Amino acid sequence: MKQFTLSDFDYELPAELIAQKPAEPRDHSRLLVYRRETGEITDTVFHQLGAFLHPGTTLVMNNSRVEKARLLFGKMEVFITHTHNPHTVDAMVRPGKKFRQGREIALTDKITARVDHIEDDGLRRLTFNLPLDHPAFEAHRNTPFPPYIAADESLAERYQTVYAKPEGSKAAPTAGLHFTKELLQKLRDAGHPTTEVTLHVGLGTFAPVKTDDISAHKLHTESWMMGPQAAEALSAAKHITAVGTTTTRVLESLPESGRQFAAGSGDTGIYIKPGYRYKHTDSMITNFHLPKSTLLMMIAAFTGYEEMKRIYEHAIQKKYRFYSFGDAMLLL
């Protein structure tokens, strides 16, 4: 098999194709349908999804809710990446020179943060004087929109899926943003059961790959949970469609069990790249991903590398909208 390097996953994207706002309504985004058996590509709209799904497929969705993990204090920023307890967090900070080891920083007249430790990558371990659920933090909480989207708190709820429940993600499971409650009900009525798992999306999924040898890259772990209802639904499923790469990470982290699933939870650092053999994901709904990203590698593992390139060339030529607020693909 070809030994892939990072440059193999690069592509040129015109800046105007990076979506800054979501489609309205949600299910009016465009949908590219790709059939692995024939290589056929169809251009349609997301609310027509049911016409293309495999008969009776079970849709599996990630119900994690994005938390307002970006704390802004004037010119200072604390982006919480992990919460250890109500007072202690790991965070990316700005400006770094202000957050020196052992220093106590006055973020407001009520909130202070002590720098307990600095990692080699610049991540800080901070201890706040107040617990994170204290009302003093509320005015400073912001949605962690990705850097290629202009921050706009009026879009905060559109950066959540309609089925979002437990809070814990640092980024939205964006393939799910296209669903409305009405579309989900229509799909269920048409014989497509739906079920939910949870994977709290960390920044590790989106961390840039810095090594040309892609096998040398290591993914950060993310926590997942699958309840009894989901385990039962998946065990009964004849065909499984994962809504998003985060859902796919949960499914592919489960043991190869002859499609008998058990409720459970854990951490996953699964890194899916060309050469990987999918165990539980029969079809996938996903958005269009950044160049040189592990998510693009995951898609290449599903479609084949050359076909992934062809799909993306088609999407750029047809002016699909890319990234978090962009359009979607159904990979059959």
Q: Identify the pLDDT of residue 205.
A: 64
Measured between alpha carbons, how far is 137 from 71 in angstroms, rounded to an integer?
8
Do 235 and 276 touch, CB atoms closer than 8 A? no
List the Cα angle 319/249/258 in 5-degree steps: 120
pLDDT of residue 257: 81
Of 305, 316, 299, 317, nearest in space to 8 by CA: 305
Strand, coil or helix: what is 145? coil
Can you give the length of the chain in residues? 332
Q: Which amino acid appears at position 40 of this protein?
A: E
Asked whether 299 and 274 are in contact (CB, 8 A), the reply is no
Range 6-66+153-331 classified under CATH 3.40.50.720 = no
> Could you check whether the bond before residue 25 is cis, i.e. omega within 30 degrees of 0?
yes
CB contact set of 279 (below 8 Å; sequence gap of 6+): 251, 252, 254, 256
Query: What integer pLDDT is reported at residue 73 of this predicted model?
Result: 97
- The answer to whether 197 touches 250, Cβ cutoff 8 Å, is yes
Residue 129: exposed, middle, or buried by beta-carbon count in 10 A (0-12, 13-18, 19+)?
middle
Residue-level pLDDT at 319: 98
Locate the domains of the chain by residue range.
6-66+153-331, 70-142
pLDDT recorded at residue 1: 72
Q: Mean pLDDT of successive 10-residue segments in the chain (332 residues)?
A: 91 97 97 98 98 98 97 96 94 95 97 96 94 97 92 94 96 97 98 98 77 88 96 97 97 91 95 96 98 96 98 98 98 98
CA 249 to chain CA mean position, Å = 10
Q: Kindly report the pTM of this predicted structure.
A: 0.94
Q: Architecture of 70-142 per CATH? A: Beta Barrel (2.40)
Beta bridge pairs of residue 195: 60
**DSSP H stretches of helix in the chain:** 181-189, 228-236, 245-253, 294-303, 305-317
